[in-house]
Structure 1
Amino acid sequence: MKKQNILNLIKYHVEKNENAFRNEAVSIAKYFDAIGDYQLAEYIMGLIAESNLYVPQASDFESEFLKQIDIRELQPLNLPVAISNDIKGIINAVNHNIGINKFLLEGLPGSGKTEAAKHIARLLGRTLYCVDFEHLIDSKLGQTNKNIASVFTEINMIPYSNKIVILFDEIDVIALDRVNRNDVREMGRVTSTILRELDRLTDLNKEIVIIATTNLYSNFDKALIRRFDAIINFNRYSKEDLLEVAEYYFISFIKNFKGIPKDTRLFKKILRVSSDLPYPGELKNIIKTSLAFSDVNIEYDYLRRLYNYLIGNLEEIDIEQLHTQGFTVREIEKLKGESKSTVSRKLSKEEEINE
């Protein structure tokens, strides 16, 4: 700490510049935290919070490693009931204010983990910051370890921590099992730092909420798993859940495409015939692409594209196979682009051959 810091404090106090005074005090607290005087740093931050000098705005906090995420306009999640109940449980746990504040969301890509984290922050009425791994990870030996320590220092210094959620999105980048990494010693140092900082966060800050997401839970470091208060599994979509999500996306998207005929029944039948529906993230892109790439001069082209994405190439599937899959003559007509009489005639011939 320099003499200028003290002079600034006096100057801002005399000028009654509360915002600048608070920022200077935070800067001093960060200095003491950096040199290891954690108790004094925490005491200064406590005084700032208790004095209620300034109600922070989301844009006030700036950081090299923490980026604010806009959560003002979010789409509905359409999560399965079991996962929705767990999200409500997280909200309840945080509101109990007893230090249960670290949560790990695990599941396949596209299962809704990141969007769920955004909704949690919104429901809690908190500002959401995401750790920027692009700046955190460094090729220099030992620098990533130092950056992780720095980002936790910044997290601990955020004023009004009861108004903040920190998201470690796809934390696999720094948290995979140490025995599965090429540089075991370097990964060990990184993981040890994360463990130490999470433990310290638990001791110093019971109000800030930490959410991490992972697509690779089976490879996640076991010691790190134990640092989280709850683990939410997002791999719990039934086919009916996915059909409901798909129908929501379809209805939301198709209204933006003029001249494209809407056939929700055939849309849903194609999804039901599909043996393996992808999770919402990928499913959303497939539906959007099917509509966006469709030829407006070819009626129901988007349904043909959807079938090709989810089941197989329509060019290689004959009418009898479609009929066996449960499609009606009228539906086959739409998918194959042939007249009703042609479809009926081909089916009749096929039946005669089979007899």
Structure 2
Amino acid sequence: PIRDTADFFDRFSTLMDEKDDDELTHESLKSRTMEMLEEIRTTAFATELRRCNLDCHDTLLFVFMAHLFVDNSDDNILFSDIDDLFDNDDMPGWLKRQLRSRDSSLFAKSLIENVNENGMARSDAFKLTDKAKEELLCELNLNRMAKSDKDLIKADSLTEKTLVYNAAEKSLIDELSSILAEKRFNEVQARLRTAGMRQGFCCIFYGAPGTGKTETVYQLARLTGRDIMRVDVNKIKSCWVGESEKNIKAAFDRYRNICKNSPLAPILLFNEADAILGIRMEGASNAVDKMENSIQNIILQEMESIEGIMIATTNLTTNLDKAFERRFLYKIRFDKPTAEARAQIWQSMLHDLTDKDARKLASDFDLSGGEIENIARRHTVNTILSGSDLIDIDAIAESCRRERINSPSRHVVGF
């Protein structure tokens, strides 16, 4: 008898070996698979699969794809792999068309998705969705499927970095850091729960590029011991109609799952979220505008129910949608550093820089912290190449003049 889900996949692997040796037909494989699923009908795998209400053809196809993932960590299943399911290694044309056009029930039930390569969805390559891995394969407890670890930036991997803030920024960031500490955060959430208020913390860091927004999230995570689940909006947008919305929803679903299985809620980071925080289009008629509006509506709904910590960073300063503005509990504006702050940044990056030279650079060049770091790194590389540790203040000043692409000291390159 088959005892559990792990035993089921071991037995299915044996059946596939028999199929490869032409000892089993496609129809026999289908019948045996359905019988085995009946034997483990009380398992989460069989129960969740029944809830999907698939016919026997789609059930076998999903079991086969799950088998490839369980046995080989295969997240790139091609038509040539699916051929192995059929007699004479020949997949029916109707099934190939169904998968290419995404008409298969496996897509409709969010069990499989197309593989993305360089931001484009491949119509001939497939993988299990995170939902399928988490909900149907949860009993297997495979390390390679541990979604609590996949793609997370671990708090203990973050390097300590000194950041210099203006007074208003520092006050708000210190306050937020205190609240996100585990004991304090649990107390605050308990009080909010008792008061019947939303327990999630949604924050937005906004301001000019290079002012330390993303790095501040990293340092908050390091200080509070929280991992980061980073969502880069541009990477989850798909060329398929409706797929981007599913990807955004799946990101929040995965975050909820991680929170359930983690002693400490991670930070959900929407980095460079300009594309989703702008003002929604009224009366959108073209597909792109409709997609953007749909994504924004999904995020707005999710922000209402999130119980963890979401931080969005954006360069937007004027056209933030009012609906988003209302939902962000903490709104921290990152201004370009003052001359005094720039001097501190210079000395934190180049320790041998004198107070006088740091103040001179800060006064002469209105640079962001990110731009100062670029110049400091370039200077450090040059000192390594030259073998000299001396500070060349003239070379640094010239680098400051050349840092921005539209600097008048740059020569125009053209044809």
Note whether the superposition's TM-score is higher than 0.5. yes
AA paired with 2:151? K
For residues 160 and 194 of structure 1, the distance between their equivalents in structure 2, rounded to whole angstroms, comes to: 22
For residues 261 and 172 of structure 2, the distance between their equivalents in structure 1, rounded to whole angstroms, comes to: 26
Q: Deviations over 1:133-189 (max 9, x none)?
A: 354111222211111111111112222454321111111133322349983222111
CA change 1:272–1:241 in 2 (3 A) is: closer
Count of residues in correspondence between the two structures: 264
Residue number among 375, 389, 401 corresponding to 1:286 in the alignment: 375
SS in 2 for 1:213: strand
SS in 1 for 2:151: strand
- Tell me, yes or no, if structure 1 residue 237 matches structure 2 residue 329: no
SS in 2 for 1:241: helix
Query: How does 1:85-234 map onto structure 2 within 5 Å?
Result: 85-94=171-180, 95=185, 96-97=188-189, 98=192, 99-158=199-258, 159-160=260-261, 162-179=264-281, 183-201=288-306, 206=307, 208-234=308-334
Query: How does 1:303-342 map onto structure 2 within 5 Å?
Result: 303-310=393-400
For residues 313 and 218 of structure 2, the distance between their equivalents in structure 1, rounded to whole angstroms, comes to: 12
Listed as ranges, the gaps of 5+ residues in structure 1 are 12-23, 49-53, 252-261, 318-355
For residues 142 and 272 of structure 1, the distance between their equivalents in structure 2, rounded to whole angstroms, comes to: 49
Contact 1:93–1:100, Cα closer than 8 Å, also in 2? no
For residues 193 and 27 of structure 1, the distance between their equivalents in structure 2, rounded to whole angstroms, comes to: 30
Contact 1:172–1:215, Cα closer than 8 Å, also in 2? yes
Counterpart for residue 79 of structure 1: 165
AA paired with 1:67? D
Contact 1:112–1:281, Cα closer than 8 Å, also in 2? yes
For residues 267 and 30 of structure 1, the distance between their equivalents in structure 2, rounded to whole angstroms, comes to: 68
Counterpart for residue 270 of structure 1: 360
Contact 1:121–1:127, Cα closer than 8 Å, also in 2? yes
Contact 1:67–1:132, Cα closer than 8 Å, also in 2? no
For residues 121 and 25 of structure 1, the distance between their equivalents in structure 2, rounded to whole angstroms, comes to: 34
Contact 2:232–2:272, Cα closer than 8 Å, also in 1? no
CA change 1:301–1:153 in 2 (3 A) is: closer
CA change 1:60–1:103 in 2 (3 A) is: same
CA change 1:263–1:281 in 2 (3 A) is: closer
For residues 232 and 31 of structure 1, the distance between their equivalents in structure 2, rounded to whole angstroms, comes to: 48
Listed as ranges, the gaps of 5+ residues in structure 2 are 9-42, 53-107, 111-130, 193-198, 404-408, 410-415
For residues 284 and 240 of structure 1, the distance between their equivalents in structure 2, rounded to whole angstroms, comes to: 16
CA change 1:87–1:288 in 2 (3 A) is: same
Counterpart for residue 64 of structure 2: none
Contact 1:130–1:168, Cα closer than 8 Å, also in 2? yes
SS in 1 for 2:318: helix
Which is further off, 182-191 or 242-251?
Answer: 182-191
For residues 336 and 231 of structure 2, the distance between their equivalents in structure 1, rounded to whole angstroms, comes to: 27
For residues 32 and 225 of structure 1, the distance between their equivalents in structure 2, rounded to whole angstroms, comes to: 39
TM-score normalized by structure 1? 0.62
Contact 2:154–2:226, Cα closer than 8 Å, also in 1? no
Counterpart for residue 259 of structure 1: none
Contact 1:93–1:101, Cα closer than 8 Å, also in 2? no
SS in 2 for 1:178: coil
Q: Deviations over 1:25-84 (max 9, x none)?
A: 799899989989xxxx9xxx9xx9xxxxx9xx9x94258xx7212443221223333222
SS in 2 for 1:278: coil
Contact 2:200–2:305, Cα closer than 8 Å, also in 1? no
Contact 2:336–2:368, Cα closer than 8 Å, also in 1? no
CA change 1:143–1:9 in 2 (3 A) is: same
For residues 326 and 46 of structure 2, the distance between their equivalents in structure 1, rounded to whole angstroms, comes to: 33
Percent identity among equivalent residues? Answer: 22
Q: Greater relative contact order (Cα 8 A, min sep 6): structure 1 or 2?
A: 1
AA paired with 2:277? A
Contact 2:161–2:219, Cα closer than 8 Å, also in 1? no
